Structure 1
Amino acid sequence: MIRKSGHKRHQPLLWQRCRSLRSLRQAHARMVVAGFDSSPAAVRELIYCAAVLVPGALGYAHQLFDQILHPDLFTWNTLIRGSAHGPCPSDAVSLFVHMERHGNCRGVRPNKYTFPFLLKACVRLWSLSLGSQLHGKISKFGLDSDGFVRNALINFHANCGNLVVADTLFGGPARVDVVAWSAMVAGYARRGELDVARMLFDQMPSKDLISWNVMITGYTRRGEMDKARELFDLVPEKDVVSWNAMIAGYVECRTYEKAMDIYEEMLQVGEWPDEVTMLSLLSACAEIGVLDIGVRMHHSLLEMVHSRHVQFTVTLGNALIDMYAKCGSIEKALKVFRGMREMDISTWNSIIWGLAFHGHVEESLHLFKEMMRQEVRPDEVTFVSVLVACSHGGLVEDGRKCFSLMREYAIKPNIKHFGCMVDMLGRAGLLDEAFEFMEGMGIQPNPIVWRTLLGACRLHGNVQLAEHANKQLLRMNRDDSGDYILLSNTYAAMGKWDEVQKVRKLMDDRGVPKEAGRSLIEADNQELMHFLFDKRHPLNLYKR
């Protein structure tokens, strides 16, 4: 779009100047002052930027759209497109219904660009019925012969519709269309039929990057990392999606060292990581508890944000808080939390849980109260974290109040909340109340809840209740050595050594092995797991 000044200078296109919601609002304000707000072309470009180009500006696009008395087809399609890819794809369908009701009288009818966006929304909504209705409308308008629309139909039916219909559409002209081939490969891969997907992939006359990435992702999701790596090494030209698929796959398979190796390779070839990359790596650091690597990831992330290769989103902030909390640095987690400009419920949950887990009970409850003061509505995860804090701090009365508070927020307690309450009462020595609470839960206690009660019985020396809890555990699972050991330790704490021997003999008779003790140490930047009591382990072969 060209703008004229007093010196007739050409202004850059709006989409080249707007990269954030703030800059978009500023551009809109300048347009209003300069009188461009009355220009349909200017408004169309503004809505296009808000709906398609600027992250987080879709709501602003809807506000602008609502101010237009008679939107043209381009504007309708733009907002439908943005909504189909946005956080609420059902909005795209609502817009289409509104367009059909109010647009037809003004000559606005859907075209070959409208339906592919709608079918994309149906795939994201996993709505077979809605997509089938749209297929009928496409045939009614005579658009099913258009290649763009046909590929969208193949993609819809292959992913969540009818594979027979997809195969029917995948004939004739579609056989020479790489997009149609990719849609079929993606459909079979995402439905878990990787053998069929691989057969189609191998038959493709030419392979695009999407089809390579779909197959790699399909193998990683099934944990077949060797096959994924084999394909990954053959990709002619990788993009960030290719690298992310491999990193996420290794993280999911808990082979974190290989995930880090792939990340290093990624940097060496000059590929910039994105938000997905960093989320996978931060998750890996959190799982293995390596603080030094986590700090390095944080520094790398800040460099990428500074160079504008990555935006620092709420999701990334939450991942950093979670990583630091799980790696034992609650101070760094708090620093990230206090530095975040925007937060969501997950942000509060992560820091409240982190503080509770590390025994900072007062700070955890203080932030819970601050969260409610700011009118952030807690969810079921919040209350689990708060109850953990009350349990670790021995704050029984506060825990009871928090448990009752769940009703005010219409949150139905689940087994995790019940388990926290049993743990809290058990730690406080209120074993009879804990048992009565379990009987009144309204759902059957699972092994974790019974094990929690058994642990409390060991701590406070209640043999009778420990025997009852152990009996329930053995009824559910006869092979968990930990349950036998807990009962054995309970007897030992009371000096009942005959009973200890009976429990050990019962384990031997039932063939229940005692799990090997482990300790994790770090040496030369490598994680080494020592199986201290496993004589078969190589490190212990020389201890004879």
Structure 2
Amino acid sequence: MIRKSGNKRPQTGIWQRCRSLRALKQIHAFMIVRGFLSDPSALRELLFSSAVSIPGAMAYARRLFDQISHADLFMWNTIIRGAAHTPTPMDAISLYVRMERCGTRPNKLTFPFLLRACTKLSSASTGAQFHAKIVKFGLESDTFVRNALINLHANCGDLAVATALFDGPARRDVVAWSALIAGYARRGELDVARQLFDETPSKDLVSWNVMITGYAKQGKMVKAQELFDQVPERDVVSWNAMIAGYVQCGSQMQAMEVFDQMCRAGERPDEVTMLSLLSACAESGALDFGQRIHHTLLEMCLKRGLSVVIGNALIDMYAKCGSIAGAIEVFRGMRERDVSTWNSIIGGLAFHGHSKESVLLFKDMLGEKVRPDEITFVAVLVACSHGGLVKEGKEYFSLMQNEYAIEPNIKHYGCMVDMLGRAGLLEEAFEFVDAMKIEPNPIVWRTLLGACRIHGNVKLGERANEQLLKMGHDASGEYVLLSNIYASMGEWNGAEKVRKLMDHRGITKEAGWALIEADGKELMHFLLHPEPVSRSKRNCSMTIGTTS
């Protein structure tokens, strides 16, 4: 309970315990009833709690701030600070413009927040304007302002300016060292960043993490691992950098091993950790590990439930690992969904052949008034293509353009061509390609060539192959497809002609292979006779060999 003191100020302990928007609203209502809003000190605490202390309360803070008739400098700095930390940092700059118009003079606490907003926006020009104002107000020598300027220029401005600001008193500040190192590292100049890192008199954890992350992002995992092994103290950022680096390099198993080490070290993973690991599981098909991550997430988010981003990643992981049941279970259990949620489940069902279920979910999506995007329509068109739902596919292709004003891209056109080709409507498919508003790419022509092989249409197959050759697309697969069209129709002379053309152009078919895992070991199998079928080989069986 808030007790009224002599100066009408609520007890400080109440504000320290205010950790939710609901509690904030209750205190705000109490202040209105008791007249505390006339006390500037109480009003400052209310604004600070909503803009800074409580996550997700910035919109409430803006409404509160707009009702304040005479905001003081502390209130302006507070609302600018809150805006700078949101996903829309441009709001902080707009607020500063209002502040100037109101005649409030900024101080050394105002500009670090504005420079942070400029850095997040990667707006070097706006940052330069604030730099000029900082010089005008004589605030460039302030430690916090100077470090914010170094961070701005190092990350999105002029590195020469950042270095000039650094050469002086800033050399005694570990934050300035970290800012400059981060700037060079994020711009890919790791050699300079490493030199600065080695020269740093006192390395903080930020510097270590910046270098580890820089190497990891460039795929230099050996150097990243060396620094990671040397860092005196690790935090979740250090572990996340290594996990994300291994995932990016395609070393999913190593990413999972790092996660196991992280757990043994007693470090609690966060959402970033789990997103990287789910991506690794999706790419490697490691369903068992993905289910373990899912179980860990349920324990972590027991009270608040899974976030939309995590839920989407889980759906994607289950779908790519072939567990449609798992993907649907996650989808059904999500409290909140966005368009990406629907895209993930619709696409997952479509690519695994559950066409009717995919289309039904698309209808559910429209029924719930969720606006589909271009990715949604790619997914539903794939479902129509795989399910032979030509009529529905044409309707959705038209709906995309007429109802949602989405211009089809090459993927949408490709889905339509594939759908018509699979259904055997080859003439219509070629007419569709001729009427396309954009130039068909080799994938479209290869899709048509593949459809011609399935349905044995030599004439149209030759046309598709001619287009591929005109585009300079001399991949062996096209020759094989055309050869197989001739062979399927018994036109062996045509098949032999294609074979000779391949020999003449020096085109060879690479051996096909498959990678499997057995008893914890990877075995690679090669196809030894991948070349097109000729008349002399039409009765031969394929031989499969195994590497030792």
The one-letter amino acid paired with 2:3 is: K
Task: Quote the residue 1:484 is aligned against.
Answer: 479
Measure how far apart 1:134 and its partner are: 0.7
Q: Does the alignment pair 1:141 with 2:134?
A: no
Taking the aligned partners of 2:115 and 2:11, their CA distance within structure 1 comes to 39
Task: Quote the residue 2:542 is aligned against.
Answer: none
Please say which of residues 381-390 and 513-522 is displaced more in the overlay: 513-522
The one-letter amino acid paired with 1:178 is: V
Secondary structure of residue in 2 paired with 1:531: strand
Listed as ranges, the gaps of 5+ residues in structure 1 are none
Please list the CA deviations of residues 49-80 of structure 1 after superposition, one character each: whole Å capped at 9, or x if unmatched: 33333333222222222222222222222222
The one-letter amino acid paired with 1:115 is: F
Please list the CA deviations of residues 386-422 of structure 1 after superposition, one character each: whole Å capped at 9, or x if unmatched: 1111111212221112112222222121111111111
Taking the aligned partners of 2:306 and 2:49, their CA distance within structure 1 comes to 21
Q: Determine if contact 1:80/1:95 at 8 Å carries over to the other structure.
A: yes
Task: Quote the residue 1:406 is aligned against.
Answer: 400
- The counterpart of 1:291, out of the listed 284, 287, 291, is 287
Task: Quote the residue 1:464 is aligned against.
Answer: 459
Please say which of residues 468-477 and 131-140 is displaced more in the overlay: 468-477
Q: Determine if contact 1:520/1:527 at 8 Å carries over to the other structure.
A: no
* Identity level (%): 66
Taking the aligned partners of 1:183 and 1:11, their CA distance within structure 2 comes to 35
Please list the CA deviations of residues 466-505 of structure 1 after superposition, one character each: whole Å capped at 9, or x if unmatched: 1222222234354522222222222222222332233333
Taking the aligned partners of 1:43 and 1:451, their CA distance within structure 2 comes to 67
The one-letter amino acid paired with 2:72 is: D
Q: Does the alignment pair 1:513 with 2:514?
A: no
Secondary structure of residue in 2 paired with 1:521: strand
Please list the CA deviations of residues 407-445 of structure 1 after superposition, one character each: whole Å capped at 9, or x if unmatched: 222212111111111111111111122112112212211
Q: Determine if contact 1:518/1:529 at 8 Å carries over to the other structure.
A: no
Taking the aligned partners of 1:426 and 1:180, their CA distance within structure 2 comes to 61
Task: Quote the residue 2:534 is aligned against.
Answer: none
Q: Determine if contact 2:312/2:340 at 8 Å carries over to the other structure.
A: yes
Please list the CA deviations of residues 133-156 of structure 1 after superposition, one character each: whole Å capped at 9, or x if unmatched: 111111111111111101111111
- The counterpart of 1:474, out of the listed 465, 469, 484, is 469
Superposed, 1:152-171 pairs within 5 Å as 152-171=148-167
- The counterpart of 2:116, out of the listed 93, 113, 120, is 120
Measure how far apart 1:251 and its partner are: 0.3
Secondary structure of residue in 2 paired with 1:306: coil
TM, length-normalised to structure 2: 0.91
Q: Does the alignment pair 1:187 with 2:183?
A: yes
Task: Quote the residue 1:46 is aligned against.
Answer: 46
Measure how far apart 1:10 and its partner are: 7.1
Secondary structure of residue in 2 paired with 1:532: strand
Q: Does the alignment pair 1:16 with 2:17?
A: yes
Superposed, 1:76-155 pairs within 5 Å as 76-102=76-102, 104=103, 108-155=104-151
Task: Quote the residue 1:540 is aligned against.
Answer: 546
Q: Does the alignment pair 1:176 with 2:175?
A: no
Task: Quote the residue 1:375 is aligned against.
Answer: 369
The one-letter amino acid paired with 2:433 is: M
Measure how far apart 1:529 and its partner are: 4.6
- The counterpart of 2:384, out of the listed 369, 390, 394, is 390
Q: Determine if contact 2:146/2:165 at 8 Å carries over to the other structure.
A: yes
Task: Quote the residue 2:238 is aligned against.
Answer: 242
Secondary structure of residue in 2 paired with 1:530: strand
Task: Quote the residue 1:67 is aligned against.
Answer: 67
The one-letter amino acid paired with 1:81 is: R
The one-letter amino acid paired with 2:163 is: D
Task: Quote the residue 1:453 is aligned against.
Answer: 448
The one-letter amino acid paired with 1:396 is: V
Q: Determine if contact 2:111/2:134 at 8 Å carries over to the other structure.
A: yes
The one-letter amino acid paired with 1:516 is: A
Secondary structure of residue in 2 paired with 1:443: coil
The one-letter amino acid paired with 1:131 is: G
Taking the aligned partners of 1:312 and 1:73, their CA distance within structure 2 comes to 39
The one-letter amino acid paired with 1:482 is: G
Q: Determine if contact 1:384/1:417 at 8 Å carries over to the other structure.
A: yes
Taking the aligned partners of 1:517 and 1:333, their CA distance within structure 2 comes to 31
Taking the aligned partners of 2:4 and 2:500, their CA distance within structure 1 comes to 93
Q: Determine if contact 2:418/2:447 at 8 Å carries over to the other structure.
A: yes
Taking the aligned partners of 1:320 and 1:38, their CA distance within structure 2 comes to 50
Taking the aligned partners of 2:266 and 2:34, their CA distance within structure 1 comes to 43
**How has the CA–CA distance of structure 1 residues 55 and 483 changed in structure 2, closer, same or farther, with 3 Å as cutoff?**
farther
Please list the CA deviations of residues 216-236 of structure 1 after superposition, one character each: whole Å capped at 9, or x if unmatched: 111111111111111111111
Please list the CA deviations of residues 70-113 of structure 1 after superposition, one character each: whole Å capped at 9, or x if unmatched: 222222222222221211111111111111112x1xxx321111
Q: Does the alignment pair 1:530 with 2:524?
A: yes
Please say which of residues 257-266 and 299-308 is displaced more in the overlay: 299-308
Q: Determine if contact 2:197/2:207 at 8 Å carries over to the other structure.
A: yes
Q: Determine if contact 1:387/1:399 at 8 Å carries over to the other structure.
A: yes
Q: Determine if contact 1:534/1:540 at 8 Å carries over to the other structure.
A: no
- The counterpart of 1:343, out of the listed 316, 337, 346, is 337
Measure how far apart 1:286 and its partner are: 0.9
Taking the aligned partners of 2:430 and 2:252, their CA distance within structure 1 comes to 41
Taking the aligned partners of 2:120 and 2:465, their CA distance within structure 1 comes to 47
Task: Quote the residue 1:203 is aligned against.
Answer: 199
TM, length-normalised to structure 1: 0.91
Please say which of residues 514-523 and 316-325 is displaced more in the overlay: 514-523
Taking the aligned partners of 1:400 and 1:57, their CA distance within structure 2 comes to 45
- The counterpart of 1:499, out of the listed 469, 494, 497, is 494
Taking the aligned partners of 1:72 and 1:363, their CA distance within structure 2 comes to 58
Listed as ranges, the gaps of 5+ residues in structure 2 are 530-544
Secondary structure of residue in 2 paired with 1:528: strand
The one-letter amino acid paired with 1:427 is: R
Q: Determine if contact 2:516/2:522 at 8 Å carries over to the other structure.
A: yes
Please list the CA deviations of residues 326-358 of structure 1 after superposition, one character each: whole Å capped at 9, or x if unmatched: 111112211211211111111111111112122
Please list the CA deviations of residues 190-233 of structure 1 after superposition, one character each: whole Å capped at 9, or x if unmatched: 11111111111111111111111111111111111111111111
Taking the aligned partners of 1:489 and 1:95, their CA distance within structure 2 comes to 67
Superposed, 1:248-327 pairs within 5 Å as 248-306=244-302, 312-327=306-321
**How has the CA–CA distance of structure 1 residues 477 and 28 changed in structure 2, closer, same or farther, with 3 Å as cutoff?**
farther
Taking the aligned partners of 1:189 and 1:30, their CA distance within structure 2 comes to 50
- The counterpart of 1:328, out of the listed 317, 322, 329, is 322
Q: Determine if contact 1:251/1:280 at 8 Å carries over to the other structure.
A: yes
Taking the aligned partners of 2:90 and 2:427, their CA distance within structure 1 comes to 51
Taking the aligned partners of 1:509 and 1:208, their CA distance within structure 2 comes to 63
**How has the CA–CA distance of structure 1 residues 235 and 522 changed in structure 2, closer, same or farther, with 3 Å as cutoff?**
same
